[in-house]
Amino acid sequence: MIKTSLIAAGFAFALLGAGNAADKPELNVYTYDSFTSEWGPGPQVKTAFEAICDCTLKFTTAGDGAALLARVQLEGSNGKADVVLGLDTNLTARATATGLFAPLSRAPVKLDLPVVWDDPVFLPYDWGYFAFVYDNTKLTEVPTSFESLAAAPAALKIVIEDPRSSTPGLGLLMWVKAAYGDRAPEIWAGLQPHILTVTKGWSEAYGMFLNGEADMVLSYTTSPAYHRIAESDASKSAAVFDEGHYMQVEVAGKLKAAPQPELADRFLAFMLSPEFQSLIPATNWMYPAVMPEAGLPEGFDAPLDPAKALLFSASDAAAKRDSALDEWLTALSK
């Protein structure tokens, strides 16, 4: 009985949906949840794109990038998505391997990334550097590298995210691997006494840091800009490490089975337009993939010297991931 009423409800909704769709085509964009929140870029992106596309832009959400890809995989070739926005370079190899994504139809515009971008399937829309954020009114001896962090007094505590459940957590894993290669286990062993705890996601870790529980938290170099701009609080800084900083590049791609392939292409082009890109810094708190003419909002530090950028190619990231995770688990389980 319950099932029949569910199905009936389904038909009712399908009919309603069809009624709307008859007026305007609907573009389905799958993204992570915080992108669509009222504080994220989503609402303004929707308004701006609908003003030019003569369509309805509909967001469907999953928890984060990895959950988003899992969702797309669960739906498989019967999926309803046109565009998936919010994967990063740690996920693109797996995403491409599913065969669900369509190759890009044309070469991207000139991108302002510190690395060369040649992915045939995914287009970046923003990027950032992972970094340890600290309170500059409390921490005076700021570590300048993983090694100096390891050598710091035992009382200096950091909180990090678990690579198995969190995007920044996986970013840190790749950061240490990219900077130290085979020495990674030794670095993790040195960091271990400073790791207060490991959290499921970024929110828990950042909340603990703001409550004063830890001295540093794994976040982004752009995090202090939020506090300066939104809270007029200049007390947060990101520690600059000599080894360089691992990048997170957030990307979007079009599905092969997209019901609206042309609209999807138009959306991907719009994604790199100044209109979309200028929304990114103060809503997603990342660097835009194409720098708008006006530059970054006041309160943002200029990106680090590009020579400091660390990033594995998508295939390297996929190949190194499992062994890097084993090293991490071994070092921190002692």
Partner 1 sequence: MLRVAGFTAAGLLALLTLGTLVVVALHAGGTARLIVSDWAAIRFTLTQAVVSAVLSVGIAIPMARALSRRQFVGRGLLITLLGAPFILPVIVAVLGLLAVFGRTGILNQFLGFWGAAPISIYGFSGVVLAHVFFNLPLATRLILQGWGRVPAERFRLAAQLGMGSSAIFRHLEWPMLRTVVPGILVTVFLLCLTSFAVALTLGGGPKATTVELAIYQALRFDFDLPKAALLAMAQFGLCAIAAFVAWSVARPEVRDIALDRPVDRWDSAALSARLGDFLVLSLGAAFLILPLAMISLNGLPHLLDLPQSVFSAAIRSVIVALSAAGLTVFLGLPLAFTIIRSRRVGGLIEASAYLALAASPMVMGTGLFLLLFAWINPAEIALPLTALVNATLSLPFCLRAILPAIRTVEGRYGRLAQSMGVTGFGYFRLILWPNIRPAVGFSAGLTAALSMGDLGVVALFADPDQATLPLVLYRLMSAYKIGAASGAGLLLLGLSLGLFWIFDRGGRLNAAT
**110 in Cβ contact with 277 (< 8 Å):** no
Stretch that binds partner 1, among 28-36, 81-89, 174-182, 298-306 (CB under 8 A): 28-36
Smallest gap, in angstroms, from Cβ of residue 226 to partner 1? 5
User: Does residue 234 interact with partner 1 by CB under 8 A?
Assistant: no
Structure-token pair, residue 72: 């797309």
Q: Quick one: which H or E segment has residue 263?
A: helix 261-271
Between 9 and 52, CB nearer to partner 1:
9
User: Does residue 157 interact with partner 1 by CB under 8 A?
Assistant: yes
In the chain, the largest separation of any two C-alpha atoms, in whole Å, equals 66
Between 70 and 150, CB nearer to partner 1:
70
State the pairing for strand pair 158-161/26-32. unpaired
Structure-token pair, residue 67: 């959950």
User: Does residue 10 interact with partner 1 by CB under 8 A?
Assistant: yes
Site string for partner 1, 189-228 (x = CB under 8 A): ------xxxxxxxxxx-xxx-xxxxx--------x--xx-
Stretch that binds partner 1, among 75-83, 99-107, 274-282, 305-313 (CB under 8 A): 75-83
**251 in Cβ contact with 118 (< 8 Å):** no
List the one residue from 27, 45, 55, 66 that touches partner 1 (CB under 8 A).
66
State the pairing for strand pair 26-32/83-88. parallel
Q: What is the CA radius of gyration of the chain?
A: 21
Smallest gap, in angstroms, from Cβ of residue 116 to partner 1? 28
Angle between helices 167-180 and 184-191 (to 10 degrees): 120
Instruction: Please report how many Cα atoms fall inside a 13 Å half-sphere around the Cα of residue 113, on the Cβ side.
Output: 24
Between 66 and 289, CB nearer to partner 1:
66
Residue 192: DSSP 8-state: G
Amino acid at 138: K
Smallest gap, in angstroms, from Cβ of residue 213 to partner 1? 5
Smallest gap, in angstroms, from Cβ of residue 12 to partner 1? 10
Dihedral pair phi/psi, residue 158, rounded to 5°? -115, 155
Check residue 76 and give left, alpha or beta (phi > 0: left; psi -120 to 50: alpha): left
Between 272 and 280, CB nearer to partner 1:
280
**Which residues, in sequence order, are bridge partners of residue 56?**
26
Contacts of partner 1 in 266-305 (CB under 8 A): 285
Residues touching partner 1, count (CB under 8 A):
64
What does the binding site for partner 1 look like in residue numbers (CB under 8 A)?
A: 1-2, 6-7, 9-10, 13-14, 17, 33-34, 36-40, 42, 59-63, 66-67, 69-71, 73-75, 78, 80, 94, 157, 162, 164-165, 195-204, 206-208, 210-214, 223, 226-227, 230, 285, 328-329, 332-333
